[in-house]
Amino acid sequence: MILLALLFSFTAHANPDDWAKENLAWDIERRHIASTASDIGLFSLVGGSIIYTAINQKEKRWQHVSGAVAAHALNQGLNQAVKHLVGRERPDASDNKSFYSGHSSSSALSGILLCKQNRKLCGPALGLAGLTAYLRVGANRHWLSDIGIGLMAGTVNGLLIPQVIIKW
């Protein structure tokens, strides 16, 4: 019943970003909690994916580690380039670097790296990536479309970049 109400509420808006800002952003007094929690999720996933790669890979260890580090660096470089080219204002009007979410793309990339190494980590890693992305909307730092594109970009980069670097 609650899902139907949310779905109806969502479809009643012409713009999903506006709906998300109204329904998913946290109260102004608690937004700093969402922001801090998203930072913790991001750093846990990025650090965890690189450390797990260093510990888990027995053959070509440093190729895999350098592939993971390079994937993160290229992902972040692409993200920053797009942010500066697009110049989309954040929901909280703090700057013009909203599109697309770097927290979301880096978290998704990290989740994919962990998932590719150990299927048992897929659920927790991708779940934490999704939570980190949601918290960016909760903190009123990103629009819903920012995190959607961020999650997609991180997923694609996580699937492609390490493979190219390891084969190179």
How confident is the model over 101-109, as a mean pLDDT?
Answer: 98
Q: Higher-confidence residue: 12 or 110?
A: 110
Q: How many residues does the chain have?
A: 168
In a domain, residue 21? The reply is no
Decide if pLDDT at 4 tops 50: no
In a domain, residue 23? The reply is no
| Structural domain count, the chain | 1
Decide if pLDDT at 110 tops 90: yes
For 107-128, give one letter per residue: b (16+ CB within 10 A) or e.
Answer: bbbbbbbbbbbeeebeeebbeb
Q: Domain containing 63 — which CATH number?
A: 1.20.144.10
- pLDDT digit string, tens, across residues 39-81: 999 999 999 999 999 999 888 888 889 889 999 999 999 999 9
In a domain, residue 2? The reply is no
Domain holding 144, by residue range, is: 30-167
Q: Higher-confidence residue: 164 or 78?
A: 78
